[in-house]
Amino acid sequence: MADLSGDYEIRRFGAVSKGEQGYAEAESWLKAVAFGFHESTRTPEHLAKSLDTYRTDRRILTGAYQAGEVAAGSLPSNVPVATFGTLRKTLNIGFGRMLETQLVTAVTVRTSHRRRGLLRRMMSEDLQLARRDGMAMAALTASEGTIYGRFGYGVASFERTVKVDTTARFGISHQPVGTVEVAEPASLLDLAPDIFDRVHRQTPGSIGRQEWYRQLASGSIGRDGKEDPSVKVALHYGPDGDVDGYVSYRFLGWDTTPYTVQVVDLVAATNEGYLELWQFLGAIDLVERVTWEEAPLDDPLAWALSDPRCIDSSDSRDMLWLRILDVEKALAARHYPVDGRLVLEVHDPLGLTAGTFALDVSGGRADVVRVTPQGDADLTLDVSALSSIYLGAVCPVTLTAAGRIRENVPGASFTARQLFSVERATHCLTHF
Ligand SMILES: CC(=O)SCCNC(=O)CCNC(=O)[C@H](O)C(C)(C)COP(=O)(O)OP(=O)(O)OC[C@H]1O[C@@H](n2cnc3c(N)ncnc32)[C@H](O)[C@@H]1OP(=O)(O)O
């Protein structure tokens, strides 16, 4: 590939708020992101609000800038031709364990500069820096399924859109132990982070949320950057009166048929709270359908409904893509529900963490060492496949059948399946 270092300058800077030094650069960067995702132009107020939340999240903004002269009349050189954003949050890796993770987002390359290696350059440099900084994991959500495998990312969790028929056939037999009450949407500015944190600690695959989420759930910032007065909120109170769940939702209007409520955010820290919030949604008068775009695949709702066919869930898709940056650290960080031993030969297209590793689990604790291969490892796999099975949501036996894992010792994929399983369904409620 051609060396582009002479053509583009890569700059990294932290997000800042209006009035702070570097704001113009951050604003141009964010405008370029909006352009890359085909958004209509963001207003200055929207840009300022977004950058405020980015600053709280300590996002690092990376831009590629034309180093030479730009074409006369084209966008000036201070507008990046490519963008790449990162922030760090914890990832629940099962059994309540947390792993700090490099989250990659806002990847765009201007059409007139695409396929010249800019994404490859920004991704490779960023992952190397993160690894050097001691990070063992990176994550992203992908716009297309074909882009990120080449960089060692693998699909590690799924989600689906559900359309739930809430006409007379809707019924959940659960006997409520708590109550649900309507609240002022703004109450979520305070309540949402603590409730989410409880869910985060008990859900494998959960990613810590960025500042923006409580604003979205409360209707303080809609997707267009303005306050969203259509957002309504109901809180769930447990038997002791503590708020342990909420749903934020909007009615889509009388022109939509069937009459539909769309869930903006649904977060419940208890099994009962989850069912009781659904009982509330199913009881909203004049509404015939409730939709939710971030529902789990393995959803208790399906088993709680007296008629599970109330759920139309034709849209299932990959959600979290993980990329292990340091196999020893990532494997040692996990808790394992069974004892066992596996020797893994891991290939890495970026050369960050290739090698053969022995994983020995005893009493749930892992001992992981890099070994010199003596004969075949139990499993041979790319780091993307190892990243896929890491959260227990992707079955190693299936990846073996797909040719993504080579099983050198019969039964080793099944051992991997048992070792990597987690205590409850993997699900990530955080988009970033
Ligand atoms: C985490 C996120 O933010 S997801 C959002 C990703 N962004 C978008 O979808 C916005 C629209 N798309 C774009 O901005 C650009 O086309 C990008 C970012 C996807 C690619 O940027 P480019 O600079 O053109 O990629 P680059 O030239 O570095 O290509 C790197 C490799 O990926 C491949 N590639 C790039 N884009 C795609 C694609 N859409 N589909 C399949 N392969 C792709 C290239 O062929 C190349 O392969 P190789 O190096 O193995 O030969």
Q: Among residues 295, 317, 339, which one ends one of the domains?
A: 317
Residues 2-39: tens digit of each pLDDT: 444 559 999 999 999 999 999 999 999 999 999 999 99
Q: CB-based burial of residue 245 (10 Å sphere; 0-12 exposed, 13-18 middle, 19+ buried)?
A: buried
| Domain span including residue 33 | 8-135
Residues 393-420: tens digit of each pLDDT: 999 999 999 999 999 999 999 999 999 9
425 assigned to some structural domain: no
Q: Are residues 296 and 164 in the same domain?
A: yes
CATH code, domain with 228: 3.40.630.30
Q: Are residues 128 and 179 in the same domain?
A: no
Q: Which of ligand 1's atoms lies nearest the C-alpha of 106?
A: 3
Q: Ligand 1 centre and the CA of 292: distance in Å? A: 29
Q: Are residues 78 and 168 in the same domain?
A: no
Q: Which of ligand 1's atoms lies nearest the C-alpha of 148?
A: 32
**What is the value of ipTM here, to two decimals?**
0.97
Q: Are residues 164 and 247 in the same domain?
A: yes
Q: Ligand 1 centre and the CA of 147: distance in Å? A: 6
The lowest-confidence range among 182-186, 191-195, 218-222, 318-322 is 218-222
Say what the pTM is. 0.96
Q: Are residues 78 and 129 in the same domain?
A: yes
Q: Among residues 317, 345, 378, which one ends one of the domains?
A: 317
145 assigned to some structural domain: no
Q: Are residues 219 and 194 in the same domain?
A: yes
Q: Are residues 25 and 52 in the same domain?
A: yes
46 assigned to some structural domain: yes
Mutate to test the pocket of ligand 1, among 147, 155, 432 (most ligand atoms within 8 A of CB): 147
Q: Are residues 46 and 177 in the same domain?
A: no
Cβ-contact 414, 87 below 8 angstroms: no
Indicate which residue's Cα is closest to atom 8 of ligand 1. 108
Q: Are residues 197 and 342 in the same domain?
A: no
Provide residues with CB under 6 Å of ligand 1. 36, 104-109, 114-120, 140, 142-144, 146-147, 150
Q: What was the pLDDT predicted at 6?
A: 56
Q: Which two tokens stand for residue 72?
A: 């006369």
Helical residues (DSSP H) of 218-311, grouped into ranges:
271-282, 300-304
Q: Are residues 366 and 273 in the same domain?
A: no
Total of domains in the chain: 3
Q: Are residues 164 and 263 in the same domain?
A: yes
d(CA 24, CA 90): 30
Cβ-contact 89, 429 below 8 angstroms: no
CATH code, domain with 341: 3.30.1050.10
Stretch (H or E) spanning 125: helix 118-132
Q: Are residues 169 and 92 in the same domain?
A: no
